[in-house]
Amino acid sequence: MTALPEWLSDNRDTASLAAMLSPASSQSLETLAAESRAITLRRFGRTITLYAPLYLSNYCSSGCAYCGFASDRKTPRHRLEPDEIRRELAAMKKLGISDILLLTGERTAAADFDYLQRSVAIAAEEMQRVSVEAFPMSVSEYRALADCGCTGITIYQETYNRERYEALHRWGPKKDFIARLETPARALEGGIKSVGLGVLLGLSDPVEDALSLYRHVRHLGRTYWRAGMSVSFPRMRPQTGGYEPPFPVDDHLLARIIFAFRIALPDTELVLSTRESATFRDGMAGLGITRMSIESRTTVGGYYESENEERREKGQFEISDDRTAREFCAALRRQNIEPVFKNWEPSYNGPSSSITLAMQSEKEQPCH
């Protein structure tokens, strides 16, 4: 069994975070909220950056016990073809969306690297910012994606508890804990500008997982000094397969985790998705969260379909905040927070590099 990396037990600066995270902490939730809000306002201002997910394919080769798209589920499988991707992008653009996250399952013949790369290139023609949440790739594959306009990779460890991880990932490529752990570093090595990390809250001890997640962020930040970093706090939602999370996280603990991360990582993007309720999302806006998803559809082809009221099938998980972009933005504005749809410029696309490399890469443009 491969040994765990040293950074995973690096306790250099986890003491104050651990103190804030402990449910028995002497710091009240209200005190943490006030500090978290002040830091957020100073560093990020009164704005929230918006993005939306686009499910390209729900084919999958892994057996994650908690996922509605695991390969043993009876969910109908699809992948979007180029014209369907364009149709989805057009429907998303009508909603004002310009920052998207493309999703697939684990690598399959139906949705492999070439398929993903082609999809990124199509999305980058239409959207201002394109990120990917798919399967782990090699350094050169990540570089090729960056060349096609992918700026961010989201890859959650799900849980940093190796035993729990191995029990939950029943089969498939995702079963290898260490390989998963090393994926964000490979993405950055390949020139991807930012990585999104997270744990799926509910799978294992949430406080332990939060501390490991923090160590991962700090380790990557020290190793890849150009890396943009965001941290997400997905909580288990009801999904196909009916998995019951053994470590449910209530609203108070989730709020405590978010405030503690904002205080411990004052400059890092903190993300909250439509998995959470409208009430929770509205409450957390301005208190630490700086990036939110909107108008989420967790089915393949969901945007065009909801425009046309066609079939409605089950997605990867049920979303909780199902407000339209307009309704959601109105709620943010009522709180004196500006929803920002475009906060990126495609001229900044391309692999992260220094002067010499940047000048070289201008000559090679494989996607154009």
Partner 1 sequence: MDLLQIGSYTFSSRLILGTGKFSNSTVMLDAVRASGAQLVTVALRRFNREQAEDDLFGPLSAIEGITLMPNTSGASTAAEAVRAAHIARELSGSPFIKVEIHPNPQHLMPDPIETFEASRILAKEGFLVMPYIAADPVLAKRLEEVGCASVMPLGSAIGSGQGLATSEMLNIIIRESGIPVIVDAGLRSPSEAAHAMEMGCEAVLVNSAVAAAGNPSEMAEAFAEAVAAGRKAFRAGLMQKSGSAVATSPLTSFLGTF
Shortest distance in whole angstroms from residue 344 CB to partner 1: 5
DSSP state of 6: G
Of these, 244, 355, 363, 368, which contacts partner 1 (CB under 8 A)? 355
Q: Does 342 bind partner 1 (CB under 8 A)?
A: yes
Q: How far apart are CA 318 and CA 74, in angstroms?
A: 17
Distances (CA, A) of 319 to 125, 154, 157, 226, 348: 28, 19, 21, 33, 32
Q: Does 333 bind partner 1 (CB under 8 A)?
A: yes
Shortest distance in whole angstroms from residue 61 CB to partner 1: 33
Count of residues that interact with partner 1, criterion CB under 8 A? 42
Q: Does 46 bind partner 1 (CB under 8 A)?
A: yes
Q: Does 47 bind partner 1 (CB under 8 A)?
A: yes
| Stretch of 109-117, 207-215, 234-242, 355-363 contacting partner 1, by CB under 8 A | 355-363
Q: Does 272 bind partner 1 (CB under 8 A)?
A: no
* Helix or strand holding residue 229 (H, E): strand 228-232
Q: How far apart are CA 169 and CA 176, in angstroms?
A: 8
Q: Does 352 bind partner 1 (CB under 8 A)?
A: yes
Q: Select 26 or 354, whichever has its Cβ closest to partner 1.
A: 354
Cβ distance 206 to 166 under 8 Å? no
Q: Does 5 bind partner 1 (CB under 8 A)?
A: no
CB burial of residue 360 (10 Å; 0-12, 13-18, 19+): exposed
Cβ distance 80 to 57 under 8 Å? yes
| Stretch of 4-12, 44-52, 273-281, 315-323 contacting partner 1, by CB under 8 A | 44-52
CB burial of residue 244 (10 Å; 0-12, 13-18, 19+): exposed
Q: What share of the chain is helix, strand, coil (3-state, %, to 5)?
A: 40, 15, 45
Of these, 45, 76, 246, 248, which contacts partner 1 (CB under 8 A)? 45
Q: Select 195 or 255, whichever has its Cβ closest to partner 1.
A: 195
Q: Does 27 bind partner 1 (CB under 8 A)?
A: no
Shortest distance in whole angstroms from residue 343 CB to partner 1: 6
| Stretch of 103-111, 167-175, 220-228, 304-312 contacting partner 1, by CB under 8 A | 220-228
Distances (CA, A) of 205 to 160, 162, 200, 208, 212: 9, 12, 11, 6, 11
Task: Please list every residue from 132 through 171 that binds partner 1, using CB under 8 A.
Answer: none
Shortest distance in whole angstroms from residue 96 CB to partner 1: 5
Q: Does 367 bind partner 1 (CB under 8 A)?
A: no
Of these, 12, 42, 311, 363, which contacts partner 1 (CB under 8 A)? 42
The encoded tokens of residue 228 equal 């943009």
Shortest distance in whole angstroms from residue 240 CB to partner 1: 35
The greatest distance separating any two alpha carbons of the chain, rounded to the nearest whole angstrom, comes to 57
Shortest distance in whole angstroms from residue 134 CB to partner 1: 22
Three-state DSSP at 214 gives helix
Q: Does 41 bind partner 1 (CB under 8 A)?
A: yes
Q: Does 43 bind partner 1 (CB under 8 A)?
A: yes
- Which among 360, 358, 350, 365 has a CA at the least distance from the CA of 193? 350
Task: Please list every residue from 166 through 205 that binds partner 1, using CB under 8 A.
Answer: 193-194
Q: Does 343 bind partner 1 (CB under 8 A)?
A: yes
- Number of CB atoms found within 10 A of residue 60's CB: 27
List CB contacts of 313: < 8 A, sequence separation 6 or more.
Answer: 75, 76, 299
The encoded tokens of residue 162 equal 């190796």
Of these, 206, 228, 288, 302, which contacts partner 1 (CB under 8 A)? 228
Of these, 17, 32, 36, 44, which contacts partner 1 (CB under 8 A)? 44
Q: How far apart are CA 179 and CA 184, in angstroms?
A: 10
* Helix or strand holding residue 185 (H, E): helix 183-189
β-bridge mates for residue 53, sequence order: 101
Binding stretches for partner 1 (CB under 8 A): 41-47, 93, 96, 98, 193-194, 221, 225-229, 267-268, 333, 336-345, 347-348, 350, 352-355, 358-359, 361-362
